[in-house]
Structure 1
Amino acid sequence: MIKQENIKIAIIAALLCNLLFGSFPVHAEVLDTIIAVVEDDVILEGELQKEVAVIEQRMQQGNATLPPAYVLRKQVLEKMIIDKLQRQLAEKAGITVSEEMLNSSAADIARRNNMELDQFRTELESQGMSYQSFLDSIRNEIVINQLRSREIGGRIKVTDREVEHYMETQDKIGEAATQYHLGHILIAVKEGALSAEIQRAMSRAEDIVGSLRGGQDFSQTAISESDDANALKGGDLGWRTESEIPTLFVNEVSQMKQGDVSEPIRSPSGFHIIKVLELKGTDNHMIIKTKVRHILIKTNELVDDAEARKRLLALKTRIADGDDFAALARAHSDDKGSALKGGSLDWVGPGDLVKPFEDAMAKLGINEVSDPVQTQFGWHMIQVLGRENKDDSDEFKKNLVRDAIRKRKIEEETELWVRRLRDEAFVEIYQDRL
């Protein structure tokens, strides 16, 4: 009864608007027709047309064959109904997206497209998409993902027995094709260079290879030495399968292990140096374990960022003067769990700690003490006590299987949940307007 009243109210409001606009024909605008009522909200013809146009453009760019117009409208409308139901549920659950999260997501998408945010915005607008529409789309996606994580993710469990059974009964355990995370340095040689210039470039490349194999940081070396466009990104070429690696490098890379640095590879543009930073999908999965300790100063009403940094810098000076790190951690660290152990976090692997902490930790030499580092937990001073390469193959394979099982379960549960949400909702579609 309540739902029918809502429909009547929406329709009466539309009629009143028509009458009002009808009184002034010079300024009259055609009011959007209601295509569907979804709980207490509506979907208008203009909204549907706009979404259909976006989908059509996307399909055409992908060289996909467009279905008949009425089929596309029906499919798009159903998608809009599902999205609206999920947004309504998210709103009731109090799920929101902060401007900071929205802008961070937009910047991340721009980076993945190798652009600054302003460049990406200009590119979007050149393709006929407003930046605000792009942000609205991201906001919608984040909200729905958070809702699904809340409604579904927490319920999905994968037991050790499921993982063991999968590994016992499947010939393959779901590894993807081998992927290489590559670093690249180019020592450029001009076209038509004299043999002496070529020799100098080769000698320089050989010296760099020697330094890298001796432990020199690859990213910093690329930034300072490489003539390639990716130099300011530390020479990072990202993750690539063999089919995505330039032909010039593929034979060399396919024989390299994680951490290997190639000999200089000659090409018309100069001498290339390749490092395999990481490997995925191989029988041997090596990780770097780091023994680390820290001192944490949390911020609060009495301790702001500046004060936290000041305290840690004072402690760093005391350590440089000979005071014991562990004793200072026990006396001053706000991380009470590690403070009892002299600030020790013991041996940690990739992903065990938050990214700003890991990034700072990775740059430290053995026994080196960092400057203050900020994370969501406060301000840290970090000291690395040791590093070791560890064969993590068995655990890596189990995690691949666990992730594959979890993904399958989430997909199955999401399909059921969405269908249940749609079936239990009040939706009125005006078929004669489709």
Structure 2
Amino acid sequence: MIKYLIVGLLLATNVWAQSLDKIVAVVNDEVILESDLQDMEQTIRQQIRQRDAAMPPSDILRKQVLERLIMQRLQIQEADKVGIRVGDDALNAALKQIADKNQLTLRQFRDVLEKDGYDFSQFRETIRDEMIIARLRKSQVEDRVVVSDREVDNFLATQKIQDGGQVEYDLQHILISIPEAASPEEVQAAQEKLEKVQALLKEGGDFSQVAAGYSDGQNALEGGELGWRKQGELPSLFADVVPTLAVGEVSQPLRSGSGFHLVRVKDKKSEDVHLVKQTLASHILIKTNELTTDEEAQQRLEKLRERIVNGEDFAELARANSDDTGSAIDGGSLGWVSPGVMVPEFEEKMNSLAVGEMSDVFKSRFGWHLIKVFDRREENMAEEYQRSKAREQIRQRKIDEEMETWLRSMRDEAYVEYRNP
């Protein structure tokens, strides 16, 4: 059974849907078929079972799944308009990464999928769609979010006043959406739906199940899960409310331009991380290009390694040979390296070395490397850590808010026709 899948992966298969296809919805100039809806519904049911979550009633689940399909189709259409594509090379690399995480070869991974009843070609195209949507969201929302130093300063100052900067909340969310320029009737309908949701929760209804059945948020079918968020990562609407809630408590309705919100604190914890393990290391890099093949770069570096083993100075050889001009001038020195700064393959090799030890020659996305570790320490980097985390928290909050607005705008501007789903 496959354990690791791309975040948000929605498997598509027509193995069990044998009935004659019919159109259940029209999205701009495309249609969604009954088989599409059944495929997605089967996948969502499997995901809910794997989470050991309560299953929403069939009619409600079907409606939610159809809405997710509509939003996916709209995003694929938008990606096509702006020219976002995912080629076969990138797709194959992603599939190999999934197989590797499951400790399988790509052939074995394909066999397991087909044994579980999934059509591999359909699976490939589903992964391609997920990658396209991820690239679209990155280009249209994430890359446009900017966090200034002043915002970081203000955030940290506010955190000091509130004295809650190290508290982290595990949140769930229900959104009852209201269209832009909604009529009084639409607002009233949303209000009635909100009251129904509140009544269900008051009667002891499971928040995850209610969210899956009634929420219009993009995480509805995951039980409204927002995951762990620090104070600065909270949407502005929630920022003052969440710290006042006890674990398990649901907020009063909060109104925004998107509609009515309910937020629940599933859990909370404190975090106090300041010490960072750093490594003092140097390296020599040989890049590959039109004039230097992989084999030639590797051989050059192997010879340099042999010269160092025989007594020549690492720094002198780095100055004379390394293609990393930034570090070469300092004899290959990278200075004190903190976790997460280097690419994973480089960091993994560096962390495996003892102080004074030199690595074997190895390859990363930048070329061929030779590393030597000179020292290690634990450094108190509280200020740097706090600023870095604050910047990321502000950025994530902005992304969440912009993403919700962007998706709602896309949905409001689209032509969507339901046909007896």
Determine the structure 1 residue equivalent to 2:152. 160
Query: Is residue 144 of structure 1 aligned with residue 128 of structure 2?
Result: no
Determine the structure 2 residue equivalent to 1:48. 37
Partners of 2:154 and 2:103 lie apart in 1 by 40
In the alignment, is the contact (CA less than 8 A) between 1:173 and 1:397 conserved in 2? no
Query: Is residue 64 of structure 1 aligned with residue 54 of structure 2?
Result: yes
Deviations 1:47-83 (A, max 9, x none): 22322333344445544242352x4443322221211
Deviations 1:109-152 (A, max 9, x none): 56666877777666655654444444443333222122111111
Determine the structure 1 residue equivalent to 2:347. 358
In the alignment, is the contact (CA less than 8 A) between 2:166 and 2:271 conserved in 1? no
Determine the structure 2 residue equivalent to 1:293. 282
Determine the structure 2 residue equivalent to 1:6. none
In the alignment, is the contact (CA less than 8 A) between 1:284 and 1:392 conserved in 2? no
Partners of 2:299 and 2:139 lie apart in 1 by 39
Partners of 1:164 and 1:65 lie apart in 2 by 42
Partners of 1:47 and 1:284 lie apart in 2 by 46
Aligned CA RMSD, in angstroms, stands at 3.2
Determine the structure 2 residue equivalent to 1:409. 398
Name structure 1 gaps, 5 residues minimum.
1-28, 178-279
Partners of 1:125 and 1:145 lie apart in 2 by 26
Deviations 1:319-367 (A, max 9, x none): 2233222222222211122222222211110011111111111122333
Determine the structure 2 residue equivalent to 1:81. 70
State the SS of the aligned residue for 1:396: helix
Match runs of 1:28-427 below 5 Å: 32-59=21-48, 62-67=52-57, 69=59, 71-99=60-88, 101-103=90-92, 105-106=94-95, 109=98, 124-125=113-114, 127-158=116-147, 159-176=151-168, 282-425=271-414, 427=415
Deviations 1:181-234 (A, max 9, x none): xxxxxxxxxxxxxxxxxxxxxxxxxxxxxxxxxxxxxxxxxxxxxxxxxxxxxx
Residue 171 (structure 1) shift: 2.8
Residue 292 (structure 1) shift: 1.5
In the alignment, is the contact (CA less than 8 A) between 1:163 and 1:398 conserved in 2? no
Partners of 2:137 and 2:385 lie apart in 1 by 27
Partners of 2:377 and 2:48 lie apart in 1 by 49
Partners of 1:63 and 1:127 lie apart in 2 by 22
Partners of 2:46 and 2:130 lie apart in 1 by 19
In the alignment, is the contact (CA less than 8 A) between 1:325 and 1:342 conserved in 2? yes
State the SS of the aligned residue for 2:54: coil
State the SS of the aligned residue for 1:287: strand
Name structure 2 gaps, 5 residues minimum.
1-17, 170-268
Higher RCO (Cα < 8 Å, 6 or more apart): 2
Cα separation, partners in 2 of 1:314 and 1:422, compared to 1, 3 Å: same
Partners of 2:77 and 2:310 lie apart in 1 by 60
Query: Is residue 429 of structure 1 aligned with residue 413 of structure 2?
Result: no
Deviates more, 1:35-44 or 1:75-84: 35-44
Deviations 1:263-308 (A, max 9, x none): xxxxxxxxxxxxxxxxx96434322211122111111122111100
Partners of 2:101 and 2:159 lie apart in 1 by 34
Deviations 1:69-117 (A, max 9, x none): 2x44433222212111211222344434455554554565566668777
Determine the structure 2 residue equivalent to 1:271. none
- Residue identity in the other structure for 1:345: L
In the alignment, is the contact (CA less than 8 A) between 1:173 and 1:400 conserved in 2? no
State the SS of the aligned residue for 1:299: coil
Residue 176 (structure 1) shift: 4.4
Higher-Rg member (1/2):
1
- Residue identity in the other structure for 1:67: P
Partners of 2:395 and 2:301 lie apart in 1 by 42
State the SS of the aligned residue for 1:370: coil
In the alignment, is the contact (CA less than 8 A) between 2:45 and 2:55 conserved in 1? no
In the alignment, is the contact (CA less than 8 A) between 1:37 and 1:428 conserved in 2? yes
Partners of 1:63 and 1:369 lie apart in 2 by 50
In the alignment, is the contact (CA less than 8 A) between 1:59 and 1:66 conserved in 2? no
State the SS of the aligned residue for 1:46: helix
In the alignment, is the contact (CA less than 8 A) between 1:35 and 1:43 conserved in 2? yes
Partners of 1:382 and 1:98 lie apart in 2 by 34
Partners of 1:167 and 1:150 lie apart in 2 by 31
Deviates more, 1:314-323 or 1:120-129: 120-129
- Residue identity in the other structure for 1:309: Q
In the alignment, is the contact (CA less than 8 A) between 2:281 and 2:333 conserved in 1? yes
Determine the structure 2 residue equivalent to 1:267. none
State the SS of the aligned residue for 2:363: strand
Partners of 1:376 and 1:281 lie apart in 2 by 37
In the alignment, is the contact (CA less than 8 A) between 2:156 and 2:390 conserved in 1? no
Residue 423 (structure 1) shift: 2.2
Deviates more, 1:42-51 or 1:397-406: 397-406
Deviates more, 1:52-61 or 1:150-159: 52-61
Partners of 2:335 and 2:287 lie apart in 1 by 21
Residue 407 (structure 1) shift: 2.0
Partners of 1:326 and 1:171 lie apart in 2 by 47
Give the TM-score taking structure 1 as reference length. 0.61
In the alignment, is the contact (CA less than 8 A) between 1:174 and 1:404 conserved in 2? no
